[in-house]
Structure 1
Amino acid sequence: MHISPWEATQGLFAGAERLLSAGAPLILYGPYIEADVPTADSNLAFDASLRSRNPAWGLRDTDDVKAVAADAGFAFAGRRAMPANNLILLFRRT
C-alpha cells in the first residue's frame, strides 16, 4: 500500500468488494499514520524516503484507508500493533 499510488489502494478495495463474500476478512499489514497516535521516527523517515523516490508513494493515514474501505463495502473490524511499528488493520466485507 505504501509503495504504490493511492489509486492502488482504491483498486484493492474495489477488487476485494467484487471477490469477497459478506463477512469475509481483508487483512492489511504495514506501517500507517494514525491521527491520535504518535508516529515513530523510523516510520516518518521511511515515509520521507518513499515520497522522495515517488511523490505518489508514502505511508497511508488509517482514517483515509477506513474511508475508502467503507465506500467499497467494508467495515473496520480491528487494529493490532505489530513489531517494528507496523499494524494489522482488519476489515470485513459487509
Structure 2
Amino acid sequence: MIVIRLARGGAKARPFFNIVVADKRVRRDGRFIERIGFYNPSATDGEEGLRIAQDRLNHWIGVGAQPSPTVQRLVKQAAKAAPAAA
C-alpha cells in the first residue's frame, strides 16, 4: 500500500518534516517515492510553515494512496489558509 506521511528531519529539538509518498513497509525516514511538500512546526512569522503541492497530492490520492491522519489535518489547514492568502 502507498501512503502519504511525514518524514522527520532537522536537528534535535528543531523538527522539520517532509511530506512524502512512500510504501507503507518502508521505515518512517527511509526510501520514498516522491516528496510533495514540507511542514515546519517551529516556523516563525517570516518563514513558510507549510507547503503542499496540491496537484501531486490529488494525483496520488487518485491512484489510491492513503494519507496519514496528520497529513489529512495539514491538508485541511493548508486549504483553510489558501483562501485567506488569495
When the two structures are superposed, what TM-score results if normalisation uses the length of structure 1? 0.28
- Say which structure is richer in helix: 1
Q: Which has the higher contact order (CA 8 A, sep 6+)?
A: 1
